[in-house]
Amino acid sequence: MFEAIKKKFSAEGNEPTGSTSKPDISREKSAELFEKAKTLFPGGVNSPVRAFKSVYGTPLFIKKGDGCHLWDADDNEFIDFCCSWGPLILGHNNNKVREKVIEIMQNGMSFGAPTALENELAELILKNNKYIEKIRFVSSGTEAVMSAIRLARGNTKRDKILKFEGCYHGHTDSLLVKAGSGLVTFGETSSAGVPKAFADETIVVALNDKEAVTKAFEDFKDQIAAIIIEPVPANNGLLLQEKDFLQFLREICTQNGTLLIFDEVISGFRIGFEGAAGHYQIKPDIITYGKIIGGGLPVGAYGASAQIMSNISPEGAVYQAGTLSGNPVAMAAGIAQLTELLRIGFYKDLNNKTEEFTTAIQRFATARNYKFKVFTIGSIFWFAFTDQETIHRADEIDAGSMEKFKKMHRELLNRGIYFGPSGYEVGFISAAHTKIDLEKAKRAIFESLEVVFSGK
């Protein structure tokens, strides 16, 4: 993962150089705010990718969002395909979410005691998701994963975790590890501050590699507590897996008394209400959620069978707690958002809209013989500057191709289109993207591709 983290967050030099086919947008106010921010935060940001290290220019400071539109501090307007990295499946400032949040806030913001809203959100999820029976709310995806790992270890009384190179699971110590050079390796820490002893408990193998997984179970017989995977790996490009591979993981876990964790922080409620588990119809032992579940406020969750969840404190011996867990305002946002997602036809419409959009872009690129492929699932998509038909593993991505993304990102911003500032990040489409927005975005993408491939 370290390589991926490095690739995501620290590409060389982000000064605008070279010509663009359109004048650069003004970033004067954003630049001023960034200068100030640098005196306040490490690197000027509160999360590394926001620093625009992998693309041109100063980060844009966002002032306002509405529907699928964003406005920055310089009053530039954009159609947004980042959607706060996934949570905003209904778009920015959705009426129903906003009104519910305002209504609940009238009664106070936090009590550190149970509220009916927690029950309401949990019921909404559990009644409509056959893959988990009980759930626990936390405040971020990282926290959900960290807790799921502890639960798996507590449940199996084993220590080792197997993860895949190219999957990101938040910044919990034992998962900030990258693969070494062998088929099956102990993780090497991918961040300073992670003790080697922690990384030694994490085995890292390549995605889509049954042989490596089988060997890991031979090498570490009866030691692996859990396999954790993003069933839709969407943090290092979009490394779509075959159902057959996920099914294989299910089986090898069952045979070895190992728990299978699906990290659905991105895919949960995104590619369907039941996420990737529902899409592939594979039942993992534990599922983690984040992003969409909180309607844009900080919420994460993990769920499993009632039996596995009974290990969690105060019922069981695995300790996990949180001052703001189940926060009423965040629950309210989640309830409002998930209620919308349960409307008949919601996912069909969203996914069809995405398919139409990505198919048109692919058709344009293919007709011009561009080395460019759009990978997509549900309402997630990824632009890869490649001619490979499939990319299943992190090491199949050509790092050199990111230069093209960098150029494209700048062209897109100059045409009012906002993408996450790294070629390793996926794009999201929300219910708020209208036909007109998508037509406008398509034209901008076509023009930008022409500039990138003309080598101007």
Sheet with 62-66, strands from edge to edge, namely: 62-66, 69-72, 77-80, 417-418
Instruction: Name the phi and psi angles at 248, rounded to 5.
Output: -60, -40
Residues 132-151 that bind ligand PLP (CB under 6 A): 140-142, 145
User: Cβ closer to ligand PLP: 201 or 263?
Assistant: 263
**Could you say whether residue 382 binds ligand PLP (CB under 6 A)?**
no
Closer to ligand PLP by CB, 48 or 416: give it: 48
Give the separation between CA 199 and CA 317, rounded to whole angstroms.
24
Total residues at interface with ligand PLP (CB under 6 A): 15
Least Cβ distance, residue 42 to ligand PLP (angstroms): 17
Which residue number is nearest to ligand PLP in terms of Cβ?
A: 141
Q: What are residue 66's DSSP bridge partners?
A: 69
Of residues 228, 208, 214, 210, the one with CA closest to residue 160: 228
Q: How far apart are CB 297 and ligand PLP at their closest, in Å?
A: 11
Binding mask 85-124 for ligand PLP (x = CB under 6 A): x---------------------------------------
Do residues 182 and 212 lie in contact, with contact meaning Cβ atoms separated by under 8 Å? no
Q: How far is the CB of 264 from ligand PLP (least distance, A)?
A: 7
Q: Alpha helices, DSSP H only, in 343-430?
A: 346-367, 402-414
**Of the candidates 230, 49, 202, which has an alpha carbon nearest to the alpha carbon of residue 145?**
230
Residues numbered 169-198 forming contacts with ligand PLP, rule: CB under 6 A: 169-170
Q: Under 8 Å CB-to-CB from 97, ≥6 apart: which residues?
A: 90, 295, 296, 333, 336, 337
**CB 294 to ligand PLP: min, Å:** 9
- Residue 224 pairs in a beta bridge with 160
Q: Does position 452 bind ligand PLP by CB under 6 A?
A: no
Task: Answer yes or no: 163 catalytic.
Answer: no
Using left for φ > 0, alpha for ψ between -120 and 50, and beta otherwise, residue 418 falls in: beta
- The candidate with the shortest Cα–Cα distance to 383, out of 76, 81, 89, is 81
| Cβ pair 100, 336 in contact under 8 A | yes
Is 140 or 208 the residue whose CB approaches ligand PLP more closely?
140
> Among positive and negative, which fits the CA dihedral 78, 424, 137, 46?
negative
Choosing from 58, 76, 208, 235, the residue that interacts with ligand PLP (CB under 6 A) is 235
- Minimal distance, residue 291 CB to ligand PLP, in Å: 7
Q: How far is CA 124 from CA 19, 119, 120, 202, in A?
A: 52, 8, 6, 34
Kind and range of the H or E element at 219? Answer: helix 210-219
Shorter beta-carbon distance to ligand PLP: residue 62 or 73: 62
Give the nearest distance from C-beta 148 to ligand PLP in angstroms.
10
The answer to whether 244 is a known catalytic residue is no
Q: Does 290 bind ligand PLP (CB under 6 A)?
A: yes
- Applying CB under 6 A, the span of 58-66, 162-170, 354-362, 438-446 interacting with ligand PLP comes to 162-170
Helices and strands (H, E) in the chain, number of each type: 14, 17
**CA–CA dist 318, 313 (Å, integer):** 5
**57 vs 278, beta carbon nearer ligand PLP:** 278
Residue 294 near ligand PLP by CB under 6 A: no
Q: Does the protein bind ligand PLP through residue 168 (CB under 6 A)? A: yes
Q: Any catalytic annotation for residue 160?
A: no
Cα 415 to its chain centre, rounded Å, is: 25
Phi-psi region of 430 (alpha: psi -120 to 50; beta: other; left: phi over 0): beta
Which of these ranges, 32-40, 155-163, 165-173, 369-377, lies near ligand PLP under the rule CB under 6 A? Answer: 165-173
- Of 236-275, binders to ligand PLP (CB under 6 A) are 263, 265-266
Measured from the CB atom, is 202 or 414 closer to ligand PLP? 202
CB of residue 235 vs ligand PLP: minimum separation in angstroms?
5
Find the catalytic residue in 178, 291, 373, 406.
291
Catalytic residue among 7, 53, 100, 168: 168
Residues assigned a catalytic role: 168, 263, 291
Chain residues that interact with ligand PLP, rule: CB under 6 A: 85, 140-142, 145, 168-170, 230, 235, 263, 265-266, 290, 300
